[in-house]
A and B are shown apart, each in its own frame.
Chain A
Amino acid sequence: MRGRGRFVGDIHMPGLREVAFLRSPAAHAKISSKAKSPDHAVDTFFSEDLIGVSPIVTRSSIPGYKVSQYPILATDRVRFVGEPVAMCVAKSRAIAEDLIEQVEIGYDDLPVIASCAGGRRENAELLHPEWGDNLFLETFFDSGVDEVIAKAPISVELEMTCARQTMHPMEGKGVLAWWDDRADQLVVHTSTQVPHMIRAGLAECLGIAQAQIRVAPPDVGGGFGYKCLLQPEEVAVAWLAATFKKPFRWTEDRREHLVAGANARQHEYHVKAYADAQGRLLALDAEVSVDTGAYSVWPFTACLEAAQAGGNLPGPYHLPAYRCRTYSVATNKPPFAPYRGVARPGVCFAMEQVIDAIAQKVGREAWEVRRDNLVPASAMPYTNITNKHYDSGDYPEALVAAKDMIGLEAFRAGAKRDDRGRYLGIGFASFTEQSAHGTKVFASWGLPLVPGFDQAHVKLTPDGALEVAAGIHTIGQGLETTLAQIAHEQTGVPLKHIRVTLGDTATTPFSTGAYASRGIVMSGGAVSRAAEVVAGRIKSIAAHLLQVEPAAVGFAEGRIFAANASVTYEDVGRAWYLRPDQLPETVNTAGLEATEGYKPEVDTGVFSYATHAVRLAVDPETGLVEILDYAIVEDCGRMVNPMIVEGQTYGGAAQGIGTALFEESPYDDNAQPLASTLLDYILPGPTELPTFRIDHRETLSPYSAHGIKGVGEGGAIAPPAAIVNAINDALSPLNATIRQVPASPQRIREAIRRARPSQATESRRDVAR
């Protein structure tokens, strides 16, 4: 870290004006009046001032999906606390906030939908009256389960919930827009994962041609999904710049993020699982509700989460029969967004508890039941009941390895409590991480913008360096390094001579961007292809210079060799650009640059997988949990850069621990957010995180270039499941269980208190064990 990063907040520009938003204090209300301060009317904007601006509308091709109109600034109604209602501009943010305070808005409160149950209640107030109900979408899948259920030897039934969360990238959202008179272009420096998509979205909302918009993201301090959406503030600031032809900036502050950005993870599961006497899964009958918030985000729709939840619930297991109903319920909360892992942390949390509950029911160790149900290596590639195509891997082996790393056998032989009276437990969670899913998958989710081929451009400079450009953006995941490595692999140009440019719509080819753990597979694949093409042309020019056949030429040690003779990349660059007179007439006229596109041959996604195992201690009096050991065995195919893979896993797992134990955006019955500062919203810090022990497997994907699989999200998926399973293992002598994250101290104390009167059941269970 050298402090040379340059984020939206670091940009200086003459005449820059700062923007502040007035946000709704009401969760659901009609706007009865709006009044600007007469002194500052020109610097204050309401929805009606945004002439030519359309709301954010996200259509989906899924039948039955209901479309919301997400206003840039509220028109006649507000639907969540934090919704932008007005904006003010001034020379500093502090003054803009002063102006905001002088705007007067009248609200007539409407009945509030604060939960999924509230939204589905009969005669519930309608968020979008034209819909007729409060469901963005209801889905139903049934492979036929009734017969299996009737005969199943055992069954378990669980209700599980995940709290609403915010994503907390280190840098909040930020956008600076200005008008480039020379280019006659709106230039938008926005903190985004998906610059090319933002250009499309802005063009749609502003009614400007895409060619007249340049999206040029500066450094981005983390995204996690929060920055793969078109935000109303982004549209509003772009409109200001396009209208007044001056620079404007909005930077989200932490309170705005905590309130208006509370948009992730809140799922409710009701699952009945059926198994044989050994605990082998026979059927799953599930109901999943997603507290989807007031509007649909663009472009990922309001049903991506539920679609993923329903589709991924069976997890890495062989499941013969499956029924699942999902509800994407509109509520008076911020619009739901796809956070690292998208639905899968919730899904894994639910499924892995089901496996543990089955194990308990049949009296076996949870890891054994897990192993018996996992799709075995011999079945690969395997298409599961929801038509997920698992490409490769040995899931049971990773589980067994994780079990050995965490030392389960020794643990079971030892004491159940430590010398401080804390209860000890071990928990497991296994999952698959669908990554780099492509065209077909996204099309099946009905998205308005479906990713196809990713493009990359590679060019050798006259002095023998390599320039790589890709439309994906870097958000701290190290793509500058890994893409350069791939380009090096193909061309032999030394890493220090490779420069990677990302994201800017003016200088990079189209990519839908960085999300869905797709960067290294899709952009990596495209860079690989383009670099391969350029490498071929380098070879033929070098061959000419060396007076050999191109096939005799190879790359080594930063030079181009034929037997013992060699030339440099600079020799080749110079020959092509400066001394073409030395080249034969037959030289390839496309030169030393190429743009190539890539998507995997089978683009249903390549599946990374892992098992997380955790050993922890629960203090029964305080409810505090200490993680004592954390082992991860993961497989993401070829590791382009092991350090970056581990970095992704650490970071993801840290966020997963946040989900498991700390992070929560609670709402009261009026859908008022109760955590608006970091005093109330607790993020894990260094002392709450264990030393993650990671072991890797490298089963190459048969479908992707170099056998690479995505790894950006996996770390975040398993911790809630593994940790809650471990807590329940620890608390089993007390007969207490927790089925909710975060497993806060208070919830754990409650669970223990609830279990207290039933001493009788406890002793019965001990006998059963």
Chain B
Amino acid sequence: MKSSAFELKHARTLGEATELLAGADGNAKVLAGGQSLVPMLNLRLARPKLLVDIKRASGFRELAADDKVFSIGAGWTHAEIEDGVLEDPTRGLLRSVAHGIAYRAVRNRGTMGGSLAHADPAADWVSTLAALGAVIVAQGGEEQPKRYAAESFVDGAFSTKLGESEVIAAIEVPRLSADASWAYQKICRKTGEFANAIGVAVLDQKAGIKRVLAGATSGSPALLPETAARLAEAGPGAACEIAAEEIRRVLPNLDIDTQELHAVAVRRALATLGGRQGR
């Protein structure tokens, strides 16, 4: 279980990283925390000729904020988010999700950008950022960055809209207001495992955000707009009642057991939300 041979280059800047990618004819891969890529290399499931290490490249750890959006550089690690090294514009959702990813050793290296680019349907950021309605900012050869909605960025298992020589530069996360409430439910077999089902609910009437999502599906995460609308109108209890039915509709290809498990995750997220609102 050793990787096939590759060349390793350390990009100094984000621009240099995209140049190296563009020059490699699709035979290059970005190396961020390496927590997903290195296993793929060792299993020889990924066999790039060139690895572009972006760990120390400038341009991947920018932070920018206004009163609506907080932009997080793709190179920030799960551990840094967990520890509150940077501001959490979601009033705790990002920190809490980060804490539940893998084990500390993995979180110390794994990055938000790497997680999104790897696009494991069960990855926590994939669901969380889709539920928040975040925007993924990607940089390719052109001057202007591309902007992808997180909810449709992952378009299948281990597949994204990202172009071959594009890198994820940052993720724009909407700010939640003081009125907001959120809940995140990850069902997994043991601490640090990938999820079997994820339920996310975010309600911020002031900022106009009402979103419910079923994640860790077999492909991209599934938004549940009807359940979300019901949540906004009639509260979590009412939303719970229709969640299972909507999940069956939007995820018709899953077997009954998996659909039910997703319904449990979503209902539990909604119930937690109810509890938080009650406080």
Footprint of B on A, CB under 8 Å? 92-94, 97-98, 101, 253-256, 621-622, 624, 662, 677, 679, 682, 684-685, 687-688, 744-746, 749-750, 753
Contact = CB atoms under 8 A, between A and B. Distances in A.
A98 B5 CA distance: 9
Interface stretch (B9-17, B55-63, B135-143, B187-195): B187-195
Nearest to A682: B189
Interface of B: 1-5, 39, 43-44, 187, 189-194, 196, 257, 260-261, 264
B190 A685 contact: yes
Contacts of A688: 190-191
A687 B189 CA distance: 11
Contact of B191 (A254, A687, A753): A687
A94 B193 CA distance: 29
B241 to A, nearest CB: 16
Contacts of B257: 746, 749-750, 753
A253 B264 contact: no
Given A677-B39, A746-B257, A749-B261, A662 B189 contact: yes
A256 B2 CA distance: 12
B189 A624 contact: yes
B190 A94 contact: no
A745 B196 contact: yes
B274 to A, nearest CB: 15
A688 B191 CA distance: 8
A97 B260 CA distance: 43
B86 to A, nearest CB: 27
Contacts of A624: 187, 189
A682 B190 contact: yes
B102 to A, nearest CB: 11
Contacts of B43: 255, 677
B191 A685 contact: yes
Contacts of B191: 685, 687-688
A685 B189 contact: no
17 contacts: A94-B4, A97-B1, A97-B2, A98-B5, A255-B1, A255-B43, A621-B260, A621-B264, A622-B187, A622-B261, A662-B189, A677-B39, A679-B194, A685-B192, A687-B190, A745-B189, A749-B261
The 8 A-B residue pairs whose C-beta atoms are closest, nearest first, are: A94-B2, A253-B1, A687-B191, A621-B264, A688-B190, A93-B2, A255-B1, A622-B187
Contacts of A94: 2-5
Contacts of A685: 190-192
B187 to A, nearest CB: 5
A101 to B, nearest CB: 8
A525 to B, nearest CB: 41
A727 to B, nearest CB: 15
Nearest to B120: A679
A93 B264 CA distance: 46
Nearest to B258: A746
Contacts of B189: 624, 662, 682, 744-745
A97 B4 CA distance: 8
B193 A682 contact: yes
B115 to A, nearest CB: 15
Contacts of A97: 1-2, 4, 44
B183 to A, nearest CB: 15
A662 B196 CA distance: 14
Nearest to A687: B191
A738 to B, nearest CB: 15
A653 to B, nearest CB: 17
A255 B5 CA distance: 20
Nearest to A753: B257
Contacts of A254: 1
